[in-house]
Structure 1
Amino acid sequence: MWFKAKAFLKFLWHSKNQHGIHSPFVYKLITKCFYNKEHLEAYELWDKAKKTLSTSNKVLEVQDIGAGSKIFKGNLRPVSKIAKHVSISRKRARLMSRLVDYLSVKNALELGTSIGLGSISIAGSGRARLTTIEACPATSAYAQSLFEKLKLTKITGMNSSFDEGLTELNPPRSLAREGSEEKFDLIFIDGHHDGEATLSYFESLLKHKHNDTLFILDDIHWSPAMEMAWEAIKTHEEVRVTIDTFQWGLVFFRKEQVKQDFVIRV
């Protein structure tokens, strides 16, 4: 807890808004997307889903594969409390929906479905196709039932570990050739908050990016190990632009960009 509080104070000291941003690409992203006040239809579906989950009496037996929870002590977790304390916040969900809209995301990947609110923020508009991976069987099944109830037919859920799920994304070896892997416009890494694992997933997913792909990493200031992973990603030779928003780290690979790192308040 103290670590994250100190990290947030450091973030506030270094962060800025659009003023003083000299990259046209990042300035436009901040002003036209981050701070855009226009209402999107996708917001309404997410709000509906959040209300449904917040009033649910369902209790899930959760299998934690990653770094564990700082909120829950045991494995029996009410859906309503997951929605309140663990799932993507309304503010972040709306930012995600704006990013999907602004970047015209058509094909997305999510590591860490949880109960589905992050998935809905990505695919709620119906324009993006989403593959989402969740290791916990009960959580994955619950999210899938929610997607069906909301008629979100473009979401494909996979119940497997991240490593197994990423292996399934690759073409069969007999057909594999360089560049034949499925490409995603947006990749959201939201689970298994372990620094070493996060770096491993990042490296594994690089073959699924194209020049304009956006990677979003959740909880980059969760722990010293996660901060170390974020620093390593920032210095990766293929990375051009990073944006630290405290909760999320955004990574762009646009070869036409000068290599720059930003700390932005959203």
Structure 2
Amino acid sequence: MYSKQKLDNVKSINILLKSISYFDYNAIELKGSDDLKKRLYMHFPIVIMDANMVDLLYVEELRVDELKHLLSEGKFHYNSMIFINSIHQTPEKQELWRKLVALPMITVSIDMFHCGVLFIRKEQVKEHFTIRI
């Protein structure tokens, strides 16, 4: 995350691209932007979009009931990441973020101000990090 390499001018997208590279994610689902899909393919041409089970889910907003539905579908595995853009953009998005972090099934959450990531790792103790990117 802290590497000097800049893959995109938008901070949250830069973090997303660095995460994909660092974790070597291949199966990705993007909910929202076709423009982002194009940028993603520029950096990672062999990425698989919208697979049954994903390494990374990118969303602009995620409600608790939507997350529970995705979990019941078996959409995630042990190392899957849920990437939520602009978690502090509005008071409503901040409240959604707090609700997601509080869920018992979320074991690791990272608030990077411009975006946030969630992990569901059953063996891990619940931890929340706030880092400055």
TM-score calculated relative to the size of structure 2: 0.83
2:64 equivalent among 199, 208, 213: 199
Confirm whether residue 37 of structure 1 aligns to residue 4 of structure 2: yes
Distance in 2 between residues matched to 1:226 and 1:96, nearest whole Å: 19
What CA RMSD, in Å, does the superposition of the two structures yield over aligned residues?
2.2
The 1:36–1:188 alpha-carbon spacing in structure 2 relative to 1, beyond 3 Å, is same
Aligned-pair CA distance for 1:205 = 1.9
1:107 aligned partner? 27
Q: How high is the sequence identity, in percent, across the aligned residues?
A: 22
SS at match of 2:14: helix
Give the partner amino acid of 1:107: A
Kindly provide the CA deviation profile for residues 91-139 of structure 1, in whole angstroms up to 9, marking residues without a partner as x. 33222211111111110001102x51x22443332132123xxxxxxxx
Contact preservation (8 Å) 2:25, 2:55:
yes
Question: Of Structure 1 and Structure 2, which has the larger fraction of its residues in helix?
Answer: 1
Aligned-pair CA distance for 1:247 = 1.8
Bigger radius of gyration: 1
* Aligned length, in residue pairs: 130
Which structure is richer in relative contact order (CA contacts within 8 A, separation 6 or more)?
A: 2
Contact preservation (8 Å) 2:54, 2:76:
yes
The 1:211–1:234 alpha-carbon spacing in structure 2 relative to 1, beyond 3 Å, is same
SS at match of 1:220: coil
Confirm whether residue 258 of structure 1 aligns to residue 125 of structure 2: yes
Question: Of Structure 1 and Structure 2, which has the larger fraction of its residues in strand?
Answer: 2
* Structure 1 unmatched ranges of 5 or more: 1-33, 47-88, 132-168, 170-181
* Structure 2 unmatched ranges of 5 or more: none
Give the partner amino acid of 1:36: S
TM-score calculated relative to the size of structure 1: 0.44
Contact preservation (8 Å) 1:217, 1:250:
yes
